[in-house]
Structure formats: structure tokens, C-alpha cells
Chain A
Amino acid sequence: MAASLEADRIAKAFGATLALRGASLHLQPGRVHALLGENGAGKSTLVKIIVGALAPDAGALRMAGRPVVFRSVREAMAAGIVPIHQHLSLFPHLSVLENLSAFALGCTRRAAASSALLPRAEAAARLETVGLHLDLDQPVAALSLGQRQLLEIARSVGRECRVLVLDEPTAALNHSEAARLFEVVRRLCAAGTAVLFISHRLDEIDAVADDVTVLRDGRAVIAGTPRSHLSREALVRAMLGTAVAAATRHLPEPGAPVLVAAGLRPGPGDAPADCVVRAGEVVGLAGLVGSGALELAAALAGARPAAGQLHVAGRRLPPGDRQQAVALGVGYVPGDRHAEGLFPVLSALQNASACSTRGLAPAGVLSPAREAARMLPWLRRMKLHPFLPAMKARTFSGGNQQKLLMARNLAIDGLRVLVVLEPTRGVDIAARETIHDAIADIARQGVAVVLATSDLDEAMALAHRVLVVRHGRIAAEILRGAARTNLLDALAGQAAA
């Protein structure tokens, strides 16, 4: 059978850097093909070439055996290649119905708006294909990230779709939403669509992939091998080039209480939460999307207004007051690094020092030498790569941007509490290790750590105990060393816990 899409010996250089050196990828109809690789391996370049956003320097694209050339994303879409991006491309101020109709609108030559909107029944049917039940007139801005991702997929699969390109589609999804997505993917496959699936999560590769290609340094080191022929270790080894030990990190004995929350309610619908985090203790906060786990974590860091009382080392912290929080030594790594964390046009060094300007400029005068002397060790410790502190933050990979946010908070004077949200979302394995090491290290130095994550392995590997949040209340506490299934049951609300 002819492949749906063949990318044959693709090469692409950016200046002196060879991003792709003859990588090939063959997508078969009705199969899910996983594309793996570390940040910088050439994954995104290859995907951009396939979806028409970049032109290759050498090599050929063929669809059903016939050579094709895409000069734009639009041309690739017309040929049936549908990209779903990591960064959502919905229109937040328009309604669900208008968003669902957006492609129809783009394809019609008629200006009359009445012909541009999908019939409501058809729109509802499309939502049904991804298991969404939404008010069609609701603005997209009111939806959760997970719902938006599913809506984006619903919008795209409504089209003539021969190759579906999913770039980290589950980064913002919870388990049930991800499971629903995989169902949709299988249904499309059964109809003969080829799916290209890019993810950092090996669990998901296990769950959906039929074939696997692994890129390293711009080449395919595993090229279209059936998933069943490969062990997890083989995949990781292929990505990293060396075997990595799965680290079990030593955590210290917790000391005196540092962060004390009493009756903390991040939102009007939430139950008052009481919790104590001790010096050197790592407390995980886990919950499905929309459970309120991330909101509770943000409130604990003073990053979000909330009812109730917060005390840090015995001193009152007014909820929502980040200035006071930083002064008391409360660090906060937000979950959405682009919207809430990064200063994209400022340098890596300036990003790292953002919380420390007072200490760096005692009389209001900033000394670049002092700034470099204080901040560079943190960037080195976080293994910033490439180590170019003067380069703008937006030019770094996602993993390295996340390292900048970690460095910024680790550098806070008198750090007592570190609240970290989704620290390794969309981050490659090496950066994940570095970030986990840093979290364990800072706990060993006596900092109280709150780790809110939807990555269960991360929660189980790093936390003394995991608080499970369901419907805005702390519903269960799972201690370190408990079976993973206990945590899963608690998250889903199945066990009495």
C-alpha cells in the first residue's frame, strides 16, 4: 500500500546549523506514527516542513506516491494535511460555533456571513466526535485549556483529512480528556487517516503509537519501526544516545512548618483548604484539569487572590500579594510559562534576575558585574543550554526557558518556600532530570516545596506526599511509596481513600 505521506531524505540548514541531515518519515494510512526526539533533534523542523510552514533544502515530499511541494500551510491543508499545534490557534473572543466554522469561512469566497457559519446540528456533531458537550454560543475564552484543545481537534477533523499532525496534543489535557483524544485518533485511523503524533510522554506512545521514528541530531536513528518491536529503554537510549538511569531521589526528613494555609479558598466554589508544608518537605498537588489543584497551588504562592489565611515562617502573607510573598522568600514557577513566566525579549540573565533586582541594586543602581556574578552560577547549575546568558529568552527551547524560570526563583534571597506548577510540561528528558534534581536539592537545603503537576510519575518520584484535589477540595493524601494505582484511583474519585 502506498504511504499517505513520505518525507524522503529531508535536509534543512539554518545558517551554519544543520537542523535535518537527510531524515525520512513514512506515514501509512490507518496507522499512528509517533515522532520522538530531544529538543533540538530536528522534530519541529521536520513537522514544519511536512505542514508547509518551511521549505526543505533537499529531499522530497510525496503523497500517495506522487511528489508534492507545499509553498504554504494553506496549500498543505488543501492537500489534506491538518496540523494541530501545541500552541492553540483558536479565536478566544469568538464563540464555539464561530471557531468551528473558521475553516469553512477561510475556504469560502462569499462574504455573506450566513453562509459562513456551520449549521448548528453539524457543529454539535463535530463536538460529539471528540466527546465535548458545549454551549455553541459560549466564547472560547471561557473554556478550560483541555476543552480548547479538543475543540481545536474537532474543528480540524471536520475537514477532508488525510494526514493529522498532532504536536504534543496532550500537554494541556487530563487523563480522561487524553483518553478521549486517543479514541478520536483511533476512530480517524480506522477511517484511513494517517496520524503523526509528537509527544514527550512515553506512556502515550505506548498507548497509541503503531510505528515509531526517533530523531537525533537531524537523522532518524529509529525509522518507522513498529512500536511492539521496541522496549522503552531502547526508545530512551535512541533519543539520548546513552542509557539513563531512572533516578530515585533522596529526600530529607521534613523539619518545622514553614507554609501554613488555613481555610484557603482560591475560588468561590472551592472548599476551604488547610495544609502545612514543612522545611525540606516536597508536597505534591495532583488533580485533573479543572479540579482546582493548580489554582490552589497559585494561591499558596500568593499569586492569586483567595479567601483565608496564609502564614510563611510565622508571618502573615496576604493572599494575592506577590510583592510581599517574594519579600518573605516565596518562589513561584507558573504553569503557563509563556503567558505568566517568561520575558521573551529580555536576555536569559535578565530573566533569571527578575525576582532579585532589589538585592542586585541596593541603592537603586544596578551593577551588571554584580548581576552576572550572582546569577551566572544559577544558570550554570540549571545547565542552561546553549550557555549564552545574553541571548533573548525567546530563542531558547522550552526546556531551557523552564530552566530560566527555575533559576529565577532559586535565586530569591532567603528562599523559604518554592511553589512549582507543571515544571516539566513539554520539556525533554534531560531538562526534566535537571529540573527534578534542582527541586530535590532545594528541599535538601530546607526549602518547603509545593509541586503541582498532572504528571503522576513526577509527583510520585519527587513528593513526600501527594494531596489529591477533586472539585476544589483536598480529597485524599497519598504517601510516598504507595502504589501508582492508589493515586490514579484517588484522582478519578474511585476509592474511598
Chain B
Amino acid sequence: MTALALPLPVRSAWRRWRPGAAAWTTLGVFLLFAVLVPRFASSGNLVNVLRVAAILCVAACGQAIVLVLGGIEFSFGSSAALASVVGVLAVPWLGPAGGLAAGGAVVIAIGALNGALIAGFGLPPFVVTLGMLMAAAGAAASLVGGQPIDAPPSAAFAWPAAGSVATIPVPILLGAAAVTVLHALLSRSRLGRLWYLAGANPVAARLSGIAVGRVTFLGYLVAGAFCAVTAVVLTSRVGSGQPNLAPNLPFESIAACAIGGIPLAGGEGRAHQVVCGVLVIAMMNNAVVLLNFPIAAQQLVMAVVIIGAVLLQNAGSLPVMLRRALTRRPNA
């Protein structure tokens, strides 16, 4: 059937409301947990939520860039794992800070490789980044024979995860910095605008004189740089090289963007949406732990939240959604 075309006033009202939708959802989830979940609203717990959220947030900022480009990035998880292994192995030569930097460089290099394959050869991002997810996992496991290796204990190695500046934990500072950089890139830089244009319609972008290949490559490279920061913090937190460090990172970062209302079709997405999505995920994870839910239940709750959030954003509101479901046959 033809797409249901809404008239202008309805659409513009809807558009004005939608940026708020992510924020309202986040506030609603917060209030719900504050009332229902014991100890959730304590300041110590909230700082902990923020600390966990911040680590995911940095990677989700990178994911948002890729989604704006109309792509998708699955390789984040195992590239972070490879970074932790490489970082720990490099400590004897480069020192703790140098080791972490080498780990970060690995993630950036994987982003660049993804970008080169996608932009240079026109391969589908889904396949390229999925392949890279497997390749990096394989490399990480074979470097250390499948077993985690401990980093020599040092203050410098632990600082990115456990340190603080002016009493603010470093991960939270990094999360805030990532959001600021993402916002500046997306709304105030030429490169960010070119990402939107290339993501919204790559053919039109090429015909408008835009170097779509270079713009796409830079997108994956910058996304890799965001993920590199997350990888460094995670490595520092576990203090070891883990070949299975963050298997859920790509999926949680995509889920965060989706909950924030960023469509996977490309051309759309803003920094505040990432923040909202990440906070919702972090609060959910925290609440199910406080409530002593089993792991299986945690995953179920997460699934309901992700699909529910996207359903709501697509349908506008529950009544519209139900009416449509009830009055139309699926293939009408």
C-alpha cells in the first residue's frame, strides 16, 4: 500500500515533539526506578550508573556517526578485546600509558580498515564489520592462546578507569567530552554535514560534488577513535588483556542509538539522542542487578525496552499504532 502521508501540521508537531521523546523516556525510566527499586536513587549508585553509562556512551557516539552514514558497526566488541590484549602485551616495551595507547591505535586502525573496505570497494557495512568482528576476536584469542593475561599492576594503567580529576571520575569526564565532540562534529562541522548528506542519499551527495568515499572513510575512522577511548577505559578497568572483553559492546551501542530514536536508515541522529539511549540502558542494567533478577531476565527486559522504544517512535503513539494494527490487514 502507499505510505500513509500525514499532512504538514501533524508532521511538524510530531517533529517538534520527537527530540523530547528520548528525554521523556529517560526521565520516565529514572522516576520509575527511583520509586520502585530500593537503593537505586542513592548518590553512590547513581555515580556508578553514570560511570558505566559513560564507557558505553563513548562507543555509542562512534556508532551514531556510522548510523548517520547509513552504515552499521559490529566490530567494536572484538576490536576492544584485541586492544586490551595488544595493550597488555605492549606494556613491557612501551610502559603502561604507551601500552594503552597502542591498544587504542589498534581500534583506530580497525576502523580505518573497515572504512577503506566499505568506501573503497563499496562493500556492505554489515558484512565488512561482521567479518572484522570475527577477525579481531580470532586475532585477540590467538595472541594470548585464548587465556586472559594480567597487566603488571601500575597506577598509570588503572587511571583511565579508576582515576578522577577534581573529584569527577575520569570515565565520566571522557563520556562528557565524547558527547561534546560528537555534538560539535554533527552540528557545527563541515565533515558532520557531509556525513548527513552522504547518509541521507549517497547518489545525490555524489552528484552534488561531495567525495562520498572519503567522507565515509573518515566516518568509520572517527567512529574507531571513539571506540578506542572506550577500549582503553575497559582495558584499564579489568587490568588485563581479555580476548573476550566486551562481546555486547556493538549491540549495546546500536541499541542505545535506537532507543534514543536514531533510525538505522541513515541521514539522521543527534548527540542528545545517544546520551538518552545510553542512560536508559545503564539504568536498566543497574536496576535488574539491584532487584537480583537472573541474567536471563535481564536480557528479556532489555529486549522489551529496545523493541518497545523503536515501536513507539515509529508509530508516534500507542492509539495510532493499535488502530493501525486493528483496522488494516498486514498485507493491505
Contact = CB atoms under 8 A, between A and B. Distances in A.
A466 B191 CA distance: 41
B196 interface: yes
Contacts of A358: 190
A355 B193 CA distance: 11
B237 interface: no
Contact of A355 (B7, B191, B208, B267): B208
B13 interface: yes
A332 interface: yes
B145 interface: no
B319 interface: no
Interface in B64-84: none
A479 to B, nearest CB: 31
Given A15-B9, A15-B13, A357-B193, A345 B207 contact: no
Contacts of B10: 14-15
A12 to B, nearest CB: 9
Contacts of A368: 187-188
Q: How large is the interface on A (under 10, 10 to 19, 20 to 34, 35 or more residues)?
A: 35 or more
Interface string A348-392: 001000110110110011111000000000000000001010011
A360 B192 CA distance: 13
A146 interface: no
Q: How large is the interface on B (under 10, 10 to 19, 20 to 34, 35 or more residues)?
A: 35 or more
Interface stretch (A152-160, A333-341, A438-446): A333-341
B192 A366 contact: yes
Given A17-B8, A323-B210, A340-B204, A73 B189 contact: no
Interface in A54-74: 54, 71-74
B206 A73 contact: no
B45 interface: no
B2 to A, nearest CB: 5
Given A71-B332, A395-B11, A14 B210 contact: no
B10 to A, nearest CB: 4
Contacts of A344: 200-201, 267
Interface in B179-237: 187-194, 196-197, 200-201, 203-211
A358 B193 CA distance: 11
A326 interface: yes
A366 B263 CA distance: 24
A53 B4 contact: yes
Interface stretch (B170-178, B241-249, B323-331): B323-331
Contact of B208 (A16, A53, A106, A322): A322
Interface string A63-100: 00000000111110000000001000000000000000
Contacts of B206: 322
A366 B189 contact: yes
A416 B316 CA distance: 46
Contact of B200 (A19, A73, A343, A386): A343
Interface of A: 14-17, 19, 44, 48, 52-54, 71-75, 85, 106, 303, 322-323, 325-327, 332, 334, 339-346, 350, 354-355, 357-358, 360-361, 364-368, 386, 388, 391-392, 395, 408
Interface of B: 1-2, 4-13, 15, 187-194, 196-197, 200-201, 203-211, 263, 265, 267-268, 327-329, 331-332
